[in-house]
Structure 1
Amino acid sequence: MTSGEPGFGAIARAMAEALRANAGSASGATLQLRHTGSAISCRAWNNAWANLSVDLLPIAKLLRGRPPSALEVQLAADGSYTFTARPDIATVSPGRLVFDPDFRYPGHPRPGLPRPAGTEPTGAPTDPTVLAEVTRLTSEFAELYAGIKGGPPPWASGLGEADLAAAEARIGVRLPEDLRALYLVADGDMRESGLLGPYCHESLGRLVHNYLDGEPGSCGWDDDPDDDGVVFETPPFGHVKRLSRNDWWVTFGTDLAGNFLLVDLDPAERGRAGQVLEYGRDIYGPPRYVAPSITAMLTDVVEALRAGKYESRYGATVAAETGLREEPRSFDEGISDAADLPATVAGLAGPELVQQVYLNDLGDVDLAVFEPLTSLRSLSVNRAGAVTPAIRGLEALESVQIHASRVELAALAGHPVLWDLQLADSPAPLDLTVLRTLPNLTRLSLEGSAVPDWGPVCALPALRVLKLDMAQVRALLGSGHPLPRLAALFVSGRTTLPEMNALRLAFGEHDAAGTVTELSGALT
């Protein structure tokens, strides 16, 4: 049997030979590869071993120069094998099918957000009042710096108004007036003088590159359908829009340690245009609020130097003692083995700031105990006994994940904003009828749980992402109910490419068969 793209015969045989060399001939075995064009990852198993080691070098040589693809060989004990390949490099164990690549969860906007007032690149000169203030602050910093270090700060030369106008025309955004003024003074501070405290601003050219690299704007975390997806709010609440990314967030600075500064041109109701946020390697969760403006950052640094609150460090840096890196209360909280859960919740510091809770290793629990946490958006219950998810009083809650021996699902009824529900490994049969009362239920995960009736799942009007194990998928397909129109389907555990190809067709992607290559052969 052969179909699809020619030229895979040698690759299929090399995969079968590599598999037999490691799996032996006592039982059947499977080898799956993800070839991205520049790298190869693999997963191999047989009836005796969950993971087999395979020599990929001969296969890699044959794949060199070929386009990305997912490839699989199933080898029988008699040496016969079947081969499947398709260009969807994500379709391997565990299974991942994305039918709508434009789909996003709430708070994860695609590019094209409305333009805020005042962000049009007009080419007008920098506001003279703002320029005068930034010039005053940077001049005072330079004077204080020279008194500490014995020479001027090592800034790059300043730019002209024409340079700013040209850059803004390229990115389609007018920068905040104090950032424009900063570039007129110095086109970058990459030797870290300390002008912006623990941060330095990058060159204007780098700003343009960052903005235009990929989607316009900044950030873009957890935007994939299999990411957690819940967007948490930046404290102080009401200053920053609760979004994973924004066209009007412009990255301009860094701490040279994997963290970055941006100016926010599209603030929330209590914020102000030009406020400064931080994101990056050390910022887990929402962007961190740094300052109301670049001018405010400059003021904090100059006032600290003026008061003698600084450290002269090795190299060019003068480290002012400012509050620019003060950490707010963490947005998440872990609770384990709590003897008195209500007292533990009542004793949390800053309960109004808690947005995510991990509850571990308890017996029976009613989730109404978390009602004092008025900003709670994500709740994960792990290894519990019986769980009663009475969450009507948790009005901000968007995501509930429960791993328990029994779940009283009736308590979920009517929650208005819950869009993510994960019920893993529930041995007691789940009556999912109540899910029809959740108007925004977008993602549902039922892996390993007992589901006697698939009708309620198929009837969910807002359902777009479904996570199941393969036995559940087979039961869903055999239920006779019309299948939900999904943006993505995830299948846990071992899956094969032929199985995933069949699921593509079952869920409505009728052109999928044309992209599949199949062939068979035998080893002597």
Structure 2
Amino acid sequence: MEWDAVVFDADPADTVRRCGGHPGWLPFASGQDGNFRAVDTAPARKGRPGQVIQMGRDYDHSPEYVADSVTSLLGHYLELLEEGAYEVQDGTIRMREPDRGFDRGIAVGEIPAEIPPTLQDITINTLSLGVDLTPLTVAPNLRRLQLHNGATTNLAAVRTVPIEALHVTLDGNDLSPLVDHRHLAALNLGTTAATDLAPLRTVPNLRCLDLSRADVTDLAVLADLSGLRYLALTAQQWSVLLDKGNTPPNLAAVRLAGFDLSFDDALSWSARLGRSSGDTFRISSVPGPSDNCAHHALANISKRRSRSEVS
């Protein structure tokens, strides 16, 4: 899973634990595609022991509630068979079931006038520099917000929703709305002005941070973020941080971000972090339409037992 991954809630809410896997999930049926139906013996607060869920390769971001028991599931299938709501393909019976219409996530150009109450994930692609995030305060279950290309002048709306992963460009320098935000775990921050990172000291569960698009006044603040496990910075930012010895104490994975980086640049940076280059390897591939060739070629250069990563 990616560094800023979020596991979303199932529908109905709070029936299945928000995790990618659990010892109490007991698979009993396979789709032959890496996905499974499982009996859930460790449900969430509003779930029922023995309920049936969907889990597996395509459900890392959210296990799916299926039925309250295996008996109910089999009864439902029998009803579909009796109604003729099925088709046979290559000797396999496929049930025809209606779309549940669960709006967990949306991608939009502008924030819509009506926000579905089930919304947990929104990606906004806009060129606007003054995006007003206030309409999102009516989304009580919003877990991830990604604002691409555009910028917002105020993060106040973020205070009132349980966002865990935030990708945003701030047109300004005020991070104070993030003070004491107990849900925020991953922040990808861009700024248009030099910004004080001090408010991040109060974010208790911040684990992952990407500042490669941000102009910050004092990187020394990062030394106080003892819970930080992942950090992405530009070469210049890393140089400032390492020169002053202000590296966060408990990092598990790091990234060298930016364009026009050479392989030697990456090796030198890795060495400054105390990583040996003896078992370094390079992976490159043909970039996609949106990839920068130099940046893409540096992905996963160094992957050691310490899980250090250069990209």
Q: Tell me the equivalent position of 1:244.
A: 20
Matched, 1:387 2:162: no
Kindly tell me the number of residue pairs found equivalent between the two proteins: 275
Q: Secondary structure at the match of 2:160?
A: coil
- Note the C-alpha offset of 1:267: 0.9
Q: Tell me the equivalent position of 2:307.
A: none
Q: Deviations over 1:115-171 (max 9, x none)?
A: xxxxxxxxxxxxxxxxxxxxxxxxxxxxxxxxxxxxxxxxxxxxxxxxxxxxxxxxx
Q: Tell me the equivalent position of 2:176.
A: 410
Matched, 1:294 2:70: yes
- Note the C-alpha offset of 1:421: 1.2
8 Å Cα contact 1:377-1:397 kept in structure 2 = yes
- The partner residue of 1:469 within 223, 229, 234 is 234
Distance change >3 Å, CA 503–CA 368, structure 1 → 2: farther
Q: Secondary structure at the match of 2:181?
A: coil
Distance change >3 Å, CA 386–CA 301, structure 1 → 2: closer
Matched, 1:260 2:36: yes
Question: Matched residues in 2 for 1:273 and 1:517: separation?
Answer: 47
Q: Tell me the equivalent position of 1:432.
A: 197
8 Å Cα contact 2:133-2:152 kept in structure 1 = no
455-464 or 288-297: which moved more? 455-464
Distance change >3 Å, CA 480–CA 461, structure 1 → 2: closer
Q: Deviations over 1:323-350 (max 9, x none)?
A: 6xx43413111221x3xx4xx24x13xx
Q: Percent identity?
A: 29
Matched, 1:499 2:268: yes
Question: Matched residues in 1 for 2:86 and 2:206: separation?
Answer: 53
- Note the C-alpha offset of 1:258: 5.1
- The partner residue of 2:187 within 421, 432, 441 is 421
Question: Matched residues in 2 for 1:368 and 1:435: separation?
Answer: 22
Question: Matched residues in 2 for 1:290 and 1:439: separation?
Answer: 34
User: Counterparts of 1:36-51 in structure 2 under 5 Å?
Assistant: none
- The partner residue of 1:516 within 278, 281, 284 is 278
Matched, 1:330 2:66: no
Distance change >3 Å, CA 328–CA 279, structure 1 → 2: farther
Matched, 1:399 2:165: yes
Question: Matched residues in 1 for 2:133 and 2:199: separation?
Answer: 17
Q: Tell me the equivalent position of 2:140.
A: 374
**TM-score normalised according to structure 1 size:** 0.48
User: Counterparts of 1:74-89 in structure 2 under 5 Å?
Assistant: none
After superposition, the CA RMSD in angstroms is 2.7
Question: Matched residues in 2 for 1:291 and 1:406: separation?
Answer: 48
Question: Matched residues in 2 for 1:393 and 1:474: separation?
Answer: 33
Gap runs ≥5 in structure 2: 281-311
Q: Deviations over 1:85-115 (max 9, x none)?
A: xxxxxxxxxxxxxxxxxxxxxxxxxxxxxxx
- Note the C-alpha offset of 1:242: 0.9
- Letter matched to residue 479 of structure 1: K
8 Å Cα contact 2:87-2:94 kept in structure 1 = yes
Question: Matched residues in 2 for 1:331 and 1:284: separation?
Answer: 14
Question: Matched residues in 2 for 1:504 and 1:453: separation?
Answer: 20
Q: Secondary structure at the match of 1:371?
A: helix
Question: Matched residues in 2 for 1:261 and 1:334: separation?
Answer: 29
- The partner residue of 2:54 within 278, 285, 293 is 278
- Note the C-alpha offset of 1:315: 4.7
User: Counterparts of 1:339-378 in structure 2 under 5 Å?
Assistant: 341=111, 344-345=112-113, 347-348=114-115, 351-361=116-126, 362-378=128-144
8 Å Cα contact 1:376-1:394 kept in structure 2 = no
Q: Tell me the equivalent position of 1:104.
A: none
Distance change >3 Å, CA 258–CA 486, structure 1 → 2: closer
Question: Matched residues in 2 for 1:294 and 1:384: separation?
Answer: 47
Which structure's CA Rg is the greater one?
Answer: 1
- Note the C-alpha offset of 1:410: 2.3
**TM-score normalised according to structure 2 size:** 0.78
Q: Tell me the equivalent position of 1:88.
A: none
Q: Tell me the equivalent position of 1:310.
A: 85
Distance change >3 Å, CA 329–CA 459, structure 1 → 2: same
Question: Matched residues in 2 for 1:392 and 1:404: separation?
Answer: 12
Distance change >3 Å, CA 335–CA 408, structure 1 → 2: farther
Question: Matched residues in 2 for 1:238 and 1:449: separation?
Answer: 36
